[in-house]
Amino acid sequence: MSDAEASLPILIVDGARATIRLNRPKQLNRLGQDDLEELMRLFARVEADPTLRVLVLTGTGRAFSAGFDLNSIAARATSQAETAAPIGFEAVANRLDDLAMPTICRLNGGVYGGATDMALACDFRIGIDTMEMFMPAARLGLHYYRSGIERYVSRLGVNNAKKLFLTAQKIEAAEMLRIGYLTALVAPDALDDEVDRLAAILAGNAPSAVRGMKRAINEFARGRLDAAAADQRNRDSMRGDEIKEGVAAFSEKRAPRFADS
């Protein structure tokens, strides 16, 4: 791909599945401010479409992403602005974490810096067995943003978060799977089949129930559960159309056909 063909992130829609692909392969899909703003627009667009039930985030080329442009971070550090570049990245990762539909990170290669948090903000991460990850904040002199550290701790545990942040050492794919960073680890030629399989499962489940339970799980993980809202969603589901279709399909031994909501 030529530099002219590189672009902002690309959105591809296929039935109930949306795919956002980072598209600067020569820069290992390093993200600039324009990319972050485009990702926010695409997240809003995908979430607003009731026909879409699952989002896949991936990259072009041999890496998933090298994270935020380090030159931009250095430029901000020498300015008088109070808001540092990572705050913008933090907003994108948090928005992805809070996206209503389930999300899969298709890790087509190495994941570095802030991109490790972006992948961690997805609900599932499927990677290839030749990949690696690297969180260099301590080596760069950067105190990472709070919500990113919280995500590391809540998803990977205190000890693994300390190892990755404080040593700033690379780890390989097998270790990423062992500590729970990866949901699944596959050979490169099996990546698409594994992502397709999981995306089909997620897209076939009841969309309202999935959205509500994802929200509750995230709130539990953060220690900030809106108990009243979760209880209300439970009560609503017991008399909603989704449970009627789900029970009927189970009784009739067929796949459920849930309406868009």
Write out pLDDT tens, residues 8-36: 999 999 999 999 999 999 999 999 999 99
| pTM confidence score | 0.92
Give the architecture (CATH level 2) of 3-202.
Answer: Alpha-Beta Complex (3.90)
Query: Tell me, what DSSP letter sits at residue 51?
Result: T
> CB-hemisphere CA count at 13 Å for 253?
0
Burial of 207 (0-12, 13-18, 19+ CB in 10 A): buried
Would you tell me how many other CB atoms lie within 10 Å of the CB of residue 231?
A: 11
Q: What would the pLDDT profile of 87-134 be if each residue is shown by its tens digit?
A: 599 999 999 999 999 999 999 999 999 999 999 999 999 999 999 999
Rounded distance, CA 104 to CA 141, Å? 31
Mean pLDDT, the chain, integer? 93
Q: What is the pLDDT of residue 36?
A: 96
pLDDT band at 6 (very low <50, low <70, confident <90, very high): confident
Secondary structure (DSSP) of 53-115: -EEEEEESSSEEE--B-HHHHHHHHTSS-SS-HHHHHHHHHHHHHT-SS-EEEEE-SEEETHH
CB proximity list for 83: less than 8 A, separation 6 or greater: none
Residue 183: the pLDDT is 97
Ordered by start, the domain boundaries in the chain are 3-202, 206-251
